[in-house]
Amino acid sequence: MVVGVLQRERGFTYIGVLVLVALMGVALAASGQIWHTTQKREKERELLFIGEEFRVALARYASYTPAKTRRAPLTLEELLQDPRHPGIQRYLRKIYVDPMTGTTEWGLIKGPAGEIYGVHSLSADEPLKKSNFARAERSFEGAEKYSEWVFMQARN
């Protein structure tokens, strides 16, 4: 009689453990989704920061143009060391890694002579951020993918 009661209790304990494991799985899945969203938002903030760095570097390159030379670089490397000046003139410290793709390859907005006027991510992922951008980034509102976030130099 005692043996029969213990066997029934083992069955309830087993079901209880199964329910506990299932609940833990649901909780881990939910926390994984929250972690993924948080990581994506952080990457978006980093992309906006890096894009602003490129925007400022392109504007500085244009404003420090010696007479009768082009006002935009032909390569991003020219922002690291301006070949138009005899001394060292830098507008960026490094070519940043695109946080969305993980590479230093950027989409380039080029002029008719191949000069670079802007950069954008090559990612086709959909952004989480759709509104409430800074003034310089208002054109990003409603963008369907990160590659539509184009960081252009300010035209004078």
Which residue blocks in the chain are alpha helix, DSSP H? Answer: 2-63
Domain ranges in the chain are 42-152
Residue 5 predicted with pLDDT over 70? no
Report, as an integer, the average pLDDT of 30-35: 82
Phi/psi at 70 (5° precision):
-65, 150
Tell me how far the alpha carbon of residue 100 is from its chain's centroid: 4
pLDDT band at residue 2 under the 50/70/90 scheme: low
Residue 68 backbone zone (phi > 0: left; psi -120 to 50: alpha; other: beta): left
56 to each of 38, 60, 100, 118, 140, how far by Cα in Å?
Answer: 27, 6, 20, 10, 17
List, for residues 100-130, the tens digit of each pLDDT value. Answer: 999 999 999 999 999 999 999 999 999 999 9
Residue 40 predicted with pLDDT over 90? yes
Looking at residue 46, its pLDDT comes to 97
Which residue blocks in 64-78 are alpha helix, DSSP H? Answer: none
List, for residues 122-145, the tens digit of each pLDDT value. Answer: 999 999 999 989 888 999 999 999
